[in-house]
Amino acid sequence: MADTRAGFVALIGEPNAGKSTLLNQMVGAKVSIVTHKVQTTRARIRGIAMEGSAQIVFVDTPGLFRPRRRLDRAMVAAAWGGAADADVVVLLVEAHRGLTEGVRTIIEALKDRLPARTRVALAINKIDRVKAEELLGLSKTMNEAYGFEKTFMISAEKGYGVKDLKEWLAAELPEGPWFYPEDQIADLPMRMIAAEVTREKLTLRLHEELPYQLTVETERWEERKDGSARIDQIVYVARDGHKGIVLGNRGETIKAVGKAAREELTEFLGRPVHLFLTVKVRPNWLEESERYSEMGLDFRDGD
Ligand SMILES: Nc1nc2c(ncn2[C@@H]2O[C@H](COP(=O)(O)OP(=O)(O)OP(=O)(O)O)[C@@H](O)[C@H]2O)c(=O)[nH]1
């Protein structure tokens, strides 16, 4: 497609401003769970949203604005690297708190740290908490403190104004091909997401011990009458020795992995999940085309 757009957007603001709520509104929980651990070189990707023919990639931004220790300063500098790479930055402030000391500090940092080409928009959030008259005054005060490209009045929680903001962001991004295939981010089947969650917990638990030749598949997904879901997954490893690593002493590794995965899936689905994990040795799984399609890969691409 010739007229696609793609770019990076950083949401910044004081703690509690509503960044996560806004992100979830724009991205949808399904996509953010898949992308929130993906790393780019400079910034962590929090989520990806599609708007018309544009792909908006949201990146993580600094949480600390007045770092005291050297280590904290170094971390903030790295995080600002992510914001500086962004095409657009959105500063989120709370309508009922206005131009606080913390917001002033962020504005100073914007002036110091961002390249001149970065566009910065203001989103006044939680407008459901104040009277309309107050908003005009706040918008004026904020725009005197910084030359924002545009000002949006939104309620991330209720969804007011979010669509306008998203459309504006999409139009601001540079023309170019998408960074991620659309189907990869939008249509990931639930069973694949569930397998990815378990794989992630295995990675966290096993670190470098993790057998490289390991894959997780959701074998069965049963919706139960009581509203819960029963999910059966198989962890395929290539060798007997790997099975022992994944099970752990008296099965404690796989038990902990199952518990962590079940908790995340329960929260994600918003209903109880019963998760059953089985570890199987399948020496040739790397050569089986079925394993690849379960991962959303094309077996032939591996030739
Ligand atoms: N009334 C109201 N509350 C909101 C709105 N948006 C977010 N909140 C609430 O504000 C609180 C903070 O929201 P988060 O999205 O967690 O804020 P955050 O900026 O991600 O916070 P940190 O993770 O601490 O940086 C939550 O209790 C939200 O429910 C809104 O539009 N209106």
**Residue 124: pLDDT above 70?**
yes
Q: How confident is the model at residue 42 (pLDDT cuts 50, 70, 90)?
A: very low
Query: Is 20 close to ligand 1, i.e. is its CB under 6 Å away?
Result: yes
pLDDT top residue among 236 and 30? 236
Q: Which of 14, 16, 96 to mutate to test the pocket of ligand 1 (most atoms within 8 A of CB)?
A: 16
- Does the pTM of the predicted model rise above 0.80? no
**Residue 39: pLDDT above 50?**
no
To the question of whether residue 201 is assigned a binding role by annotation, the answer is no
- In tens, the pLDDT along 146-179 reads 999 999 999 999 999 999 999 999 999 999 988 8
pLDDT on residue 231: 95
What is the second-level CATH architecture of the domain 5-183?
A: 3-Layer(aba) Sandwich (3.40)
Pseudo-torsion of CA 139, 144, 145, 151, nearest 10°? 40
Hey, where are the domains in the chain? 5-183, 189-302
Atom of ligand 1 nearest to the CA of 158: 31
CATH entry 3.30.300.20 includes domain 189-302: yes
Query: Is 62 close to ligand 1, i.e. is its CB under 6 Å away?
Result: no
Query: Is 156 close to ligand 1, i.e. is its CB under 6 Å away?
Result: yes
To the question of whether residue 98 is assigned a binding role by annotation, the answer is no
Percent of the chain with pLDDT over 70: 75
CA–CA gap between residue 54 and residue 48 (Å, rounded): 10
Least confident of 32-36, 67-71, 105-109: 32-36
Rounded mean pLDDT, 188-206: 82
0.90 surpassed by complex ipTM = yes
- Give the closest residue (by CA) to ligand 1 atom 28: 18
Least confident of 182-191, 197-206, 224-233: 182-191
pLDDT on residue 20: 80
**Residue 134: pLDDT above 70?**
yes
Query: Is 12 close to ligand 1, i.e. is its CB under 6 Å away?
Result: no
- Give the closest residue (by CA) to ligand 1 atom 1: 126
Least confident of 144-153, 210-219, 243-252, 258-267: 210-219
Q: Which of 14, 20, 21 to mutate to test the pocket of ligand 1 (most atoms within 8 A of CB)?
A: 21
Query: Is 19 close to ligand 1, i.e. is its CB under 6 Å away?
Result: yes
Query: Is 16 close to ligand 1, i.e. is its CB under 6 Å away?
Result: yes
pLDDT on residue 40: 38
pLDDT on residue 229: 92
Contacts for 39-45: CB closer than 8 Å, 24+ residues apart:
42/78, 42/81, 42/82, 42/85, 43/8, 43/10, 43/79, 43/81, 43/82, 43/83, 43/85, 43/86, 44/82
pLDDT on residue 110: 86
Atom of ligand 1 nearest to the CA of 22: 15
Atom of ligand 1 nearest to the CA of 156: 31
In which order are the strands placed within the sheet that holds 45-51? 45-51, 54-59, 5-13, 88-94, 119-125, 151-153
Query: Is 25 close to ligand 1, i.e. is its CB under 6 Å away?
Result: no
Mean pLDDT of the chain: 82
